[in-house]
Amino acid sequence: MKLLYQTHSPYARKILVAIHEIGLADRVEVIHHETSPTRRNEDVYALNPLGKVPVLIDGDGLALFDSVVIADYLSTLPGGGMLIPATGKARWETLRLQTAAQGISDSGIVVRWETERRPEPVRWAIMRDAQLQKIIAACDFAEKEAALEGLPLIGEIALATTLNWIEFRNIYPFAEGRPRLAAWYAQYCQRPSMQATAFSGETHD
């Protein structure tokens, strides 16, 4: 299998951490591709009409995207059952947590646009603040309701990689006032899968 990857994408890193957690790292060729909303990467567009990573190419040459679909696919592989429980409350809890984490990343990207990436005269502070409120609410949700046992379920993987990206990009101090979430995050970041996949690099617009 091949994974089209970007070293500073929270979505791509979620998938790479999941691959490590289910013991498939030695079976996946990771290929770095720079993408951004303003620069077209033809190699990525050839496989994903949205022009985004991650893209996973399976053994039969099928290109899968986005990260939610890839995570679902990985859960069907040997060892992947730990990512998404097949039935019951645990399944819906981890999928719900994955969605919350995905939303934090989505909103964090908008915050970056309206804080530093968009030309200063056209930055929209109202949009920035509205997206920050979504991040705050999702972090409050994780602190109070999410099942954060540190297991390698897709929800916990998504949350850990998203929070690490928020920290990497200095988007929002999520650990402040959330002792349970902060302690869980610090412990989760020590997992070998996290240590082997650290964020690096800058976006090129």
Average pLDDT over residues 187-196: 96
SS3 content of the chain, % helix, strand, coil (to 5): 55, 5, 40
In this structure, what DSSP letter does residue 36 have?
B
pLDDT confidence of residue 152: 87
To the nearest whole number, what is the mean pLDDT of the chain?
95
Would you state the structure tokens that stand for residue 153, as one six-digit string? 């379920």
Q: In percent, how much of the chain has pLDDT > 90?
A: 93
Domains of the chain, each with CATH number or no CATH: 2-82 (3.40.30.10), 88-192 (1.20.1050.10)
pLDDT confidence of residue 150: 63
pLDDT confidence of residue 139: 98
- For residue 133, the one-letter residue type is Q
Pairing between β-strand 55-57 and β-strand 29-32 as defined by DSSP bridges = unpaired
Average pLDDT over residues 183-202: 96
Interval 22-70: pLDDT, tens: 999 999 999 999 999 999 999 999 999 999 999 999 999 999 999 999 9
- For residue 29, CA distances in Å to 1, 65, 133, 161, 185 come to 6, 16, 38, 20, 28
pLDDT confidence of residue 146: 64
Average pLDDT over residues 104-120: 97
Interval 51-63: pLDDT, tens: 999 999 999 999 9
- For residue 28, CA distances in Å to 19, 31, 58, 185 come to 8, 9, 9, 26
pLDDT at 148 over 90: no
Q: Whole-model pTM?
A: 0.96
Interval 81-108: pLDDT, tens: 999 999 999 999 999 999 999 999 999 9
pLDDT at 151 over 80: no
